[in-house]
Amino acid sequence: MDPGLWASMGEAMRDRLRLEALDDLQRLSDVAWSASAASPELVVKEGTLETQIRAFIDETASVKTLLLAASTSRGGPGPLVSAALRGGFGFGQRAVAIMIVPAGLSDQELDDLAS
Q: For strand 97-102 and strand 65-70, is the pairing parallel, antiparallel, or unpaired? A: parallel
Which 8-state DSSP code applies to residue 1?
-
Q: 110 and 92 in one domain? A: yes
The total number of structural domains that make up the chain: 2
Q: 79 and 57 in one domain? A: yes
Q: 54 and 26 in one domain? A: no
Cα 50 to Cα 88: distance, rounded to the nearest angstrom: 11
Q: E strand or H helix at 68, and its extent?
A: strand 65-70
Residue-averaged pLDDT of the chain: 84
Contact criterion met (CB below 8 Å) for 110 and 101:
yes
Q: 103 and 61 in one domain? A: yes
Q: 36 and 60 in one domain? A: no
Q: Which residues span the domain enclosing 36?
A: 1-44
Q: 30 and 73 in one domain? A: no
Q: What is the pLDDT of residues 59-104, one digit of tens each?
A: 999 988 888 999 988 888 988 888 888 875 566 688 888 889 988 8
Q: 25 and 70 in one domain? A: no
pLDDT for 1: 58
Contact criterion met (CB below 8 Å) for 86 and 55:
no
